Amino acid sequence: MVDISAQPGTSFRLSMLLYDRRYRSMTIQVIVFILVMAAGWWLVDNTIRNLQALGKDFNFGFLFQRAGYDIPSPPIPYNSDDTHLRAAIVGLLNTVIVSFLGCIAATILGIAVGVARLSNNWLFARLMTVYVEMFRNIPLLLWILIVYAIFTEVLPPPNAYRGENPAASMILFDNVALTNRYTAIPTLGLTNDPGHLDLGYRITVDWATIAFAVVLIGGWFIRKAVLNWAQRVQDATGDRPVTWWINLGIMLVPSLLLIWYFGLHLIPPELKGFNFVGGLNVQNGFVALWLALTLYTGAFIAEIVRGGILAVSKGQTEAAYALGLRPNKTMKLVILPQALRVIIPPLISQYLNLTKNSSLAIAVGYMDLRGTLGGTTLNQTGRELEAILLMMLIYLALSLLISGGMNIYNSRVKLKER
């Protein structure tokens, strides 16, 4: 019996680390590992020495100190006595709110414009092309500044609404006031208020909100079941029962009942003292940022949508027409499902871009994560290392969450390969 490993010529030589394919990749990885570790150690060591030289330390204790500054219209209760941590959370929520609303609006706008650019209306298609090219080729910061400047320079100040013969008047049946500080919109009031659920940390949720959410989500599931039933009936008999009124009823009737029960009504804003009170004042910084992000990202999404639709071969449309499908059915059943596969991956990166670009809130004084944790908190405490690293980690987590979520959706619409 011969021991294979003892064969002459296969004994290990040092040079094999470099020349033998089996070992070389190991060698390279070890070298890379050592280099990366060394670089990491070098950075950490430098940081420690620099911190020592400055007499500073690295700790996140500042997050639990009193913040001392105010944030306009925080989404959760907040005042200057709260901690920096709570201020950072308020900022994070503001970032999430503007990004979320921006993504939704940009998607709607982008789809509309992308389709409009392909429309056979010469004028409108050209107009949309001008919009897309204008917004794609000029920095976002300029758009934010312009939209913000339009708000502050063109809209009237609140006191223009004052007096016997005011210079400005409220719109939508005296419910909405556009001012150069905020847009005052009505809030919802309850005459029969069931109180609220206390989640701790001074965060509360109205029972009424919960009731509406339950009703709507429940309605959604029932609607799905109804559609399934309709499909089954269609499969069995070939006739599809008319379901729209059932669905409408499921969604509407309980909601209307709830509105009646709680006595839901609008509380319009009214001018009192310096400002409108009673309603909800949506800060212009927020609106300007949201609008600029929407218009800017919408232009990019429009191009993606257009590209996606163009990528579906013309034969598909013609085949659908040949089957007797009407244009909107063709779009819904044939073109869009195919186009979506092309559209979604770049759409994800646009959502990510929008979220990251929301950090330009700095230009309009909207207190997002960068404005609180990476702005005022950093300034007041002088903890730039901790604050910025933490801020970057939060943004990173947000990005990973978005791309993770969207990737799940992507894999669902992806062509099932057989």
Partner 1 sequence: MSDIHAQDVAFVRDSMIPESPPPQRQAGVVKWLRENLFSGPVNTVLTILGLLIIWYLVSHFWDWFAHSVWNAESLAQCREIIAATWGEGARGACWAVIRERWHQYMFGFYPPALYFRPVMAFGFLMVALAPVLFSESLRIRRYVLIVTAIATLALMLLLKAPAGWLAFATAVFAAALWLAERQVARLLVFSALYPLLGVWLLWGGSLWGPIMVLGAIGLGWLAWRLLVGLSPLVAMIAGVAVTVGLLMFLVGPAADDAESLLSLSIIPVASDQFGGFLLSITIGVAGIALSLPLGIILALARRSDMFLVHTLAVVFIEFIRGVPLISLLFVASLLLNYFLPPGTNFDIILRVIIMVTLFAAAYMAEVIRGGLAALPRGQYEAADALGLDYWKAQRLIILPQALKISIPGIVSTFIGMFKDTTLVVFVGLFDPLKGISDFVRANFAWKGIYWEPFIFVGAIFFIICFSMSRYSMYLERRLRREHR
Partner 2 sequence: MKKSVFLGSVAALAAVTGGAAMAAEGDTLKAVKDRGELICGVNTGLVGFAAPDASGNWTGFDVAVCKAVAAAVLGDPNKVKYVPTTGQTRFTALSSGEVDVLARNSTWTYSRDTDLKLDFIGVNYYDGQGFMVRKDLGVTSAKELDGATICIQTGTTTELNLADYFKANNMSYQPVNIDSNAEGEQQYMAGACDAYTTDASGLAATRAAFADPENHIILPEIISKEPLGPAVRHGDNNWGDIVRWTLNALIAAEEYGVTSTNIEELATNSENPEVQRLLGASDELGAMMGLDKDWAKRAILASGNYGEIFAKTIGEETPIGLARGLNAQWTQGGLLYAPPFR
Return the residue of 243, 353, 380, 410 that touches partner 2, per CB under 8 A. 380
H or E element that contains 178 = strand 177-178
Return the residue of 273, 314, 411, 417 that touches partner 2, per CB under 8 A. 273
Quote the tokens at residue 115.
């389709």
Residue 68 site contact among partner 1, partner 2, none (CB < 5 to 8 Å, cut-off depends on kind): partner 2
Q: Which residues pair with 196 in a beta bridge?
A: 206
Task: Please state, in angstroms and rounded to a whole number, the distance separating the CA atoms of residues 201 and 78.
Answer: 10
Residues 175-204 that bind partner 2 (CB under 8 A): 180-181
**Binding flag, residue 142, partner 1 (CB under 8 A):** yes
Residue placing its CB nearer to partner 1 in the complex, 42 or 260: 42
Task: Please state, in angstroms and rounded to a whole number, the distance separating the CA atoms of residues 157 and 273.
Answer: 13
Quote the tokens at residue 4.
């294979």
Task: Please state, in angstroms and rounded to a whole number, the distance separating the CA atoms of residues 205 and 199.
Answer: 7
Return the range that interacts with partner 2 (CB under 8 A); candidates 71-79, 127-135, 240-248, 345-353.
71-79
Q: How far is the CB of 380 from partner 2 (least distance, A)?
A: 7
Residues 69-98 that bind partner 1 (CB under 8 A): none
**Binding flag, residue 359, partner 2 (CB under 8 A):** no
- C-alpha pair distances (Å), 13 with each of 3, 5, 18, 24, 165: 19, 14, 10, 13, 97
The dihedrals phi and psi of 180, each to the nearest 5 degrees, come to: -85, 10
Return the residue of 102, 110, 219, 374 that touches partner 1, per CB under 8 A. 374
The total number of residues shown for the chain amounts to 418
Return the residue of 62, 182, 276, 395 that touches partner 1, per CB under 8 A. 395
Task: Please state, in angstroms and rounded to a whole number, the distance separating the CA atoms of residues 20 and 211.
Answer: 69
* DSSP code string of 265-276: EEE--EEETTEE
Q: How far is the CB of 143 from partner 1 (least distance, A)?
A: 9
Residue placing its CB nearer to partner 2 in the complex, 111 or 367: 367
Return the residue of 51, 104, 310, 333 that touches partner 1, per CB under 8 A. 51
Q: How far is the CB of 84 from partner 1 (least distance, A)?
A: 17
- End-to-end C-alpha distance for the chain, whole angstroms: 50
Residue 274 site contact among partner 2, partner 1, none (CB < 5 to 8 Å, cut-off depends on kind): partner 2
Q: How far is the CB of 368 from partner 1 (least distance, A)?
A: 10
Task: Please state, in angstroms and rounded to a whole number, the distance separating the CA atoms of residues 222 and 229.
Answer: 10
DSSP state of 119: S
Task: Please state, in angstroms and rounded to a whole number, the distance separating the CA atoms of residues 376 and 378.
Answer: 5
Q: How far is the CB of 88 from partner 1 (least distance, A)?
A: 14
Task: Please state, in angstroms and rounded to a whole number, the distance separating the CA atoms of residues 95 and 93.
Answer: 5
Residue placing its CB nearer to partner 2 in the complex, 125 or 149: 149
Task: Please state, in angstroms and rounded to a whole number, the distance separating the CA atoms of residues 346 and 257.
Answer: 43
Residue at token pair 């009237």:
156
Task: Please state, in angstroms and rounded to a whole number, the distance separating the CA atoms of residues 11 and 16.
Answer: 10
Residue at token pair 């920096």:
84
Residue 18 site contact among partner 1, partner 2, none (CB < 5 to 8 Å, cut-off depends on kind): partner 1
Residue placing its CB nearer to partner 1 in the complex, 116 or 155: 116
Return the residue of 80, 169, 192, 234 that touches partner 2, per CB under 8 A. 80
The dihedrals phi and psi of 194, each to the nearest 5 degrees, come to: -80, 5
- Contacts to partner 1 by CB under 8 A: 18-19, 24-25, 28-29, 32-33, 36, 43, 46-47, 49-51, 53, 116, 119-124, 127, 133-134, 136-142, 145-146, 149, 153, 352, 356-357, 359-360, 362-363, 370, 374, 378, 384-385, 388-389, 391-392, 395-396, 399-400
- Contacts to partner 2 by CB under 8 A: 50, 53-56, 68-73, 79-81, 149, 152-153, 156-157, 159, 180-181, 272-275, 277, 281, 284-285, 362-363, 365-367, 371, 375-376, 378-382, 384
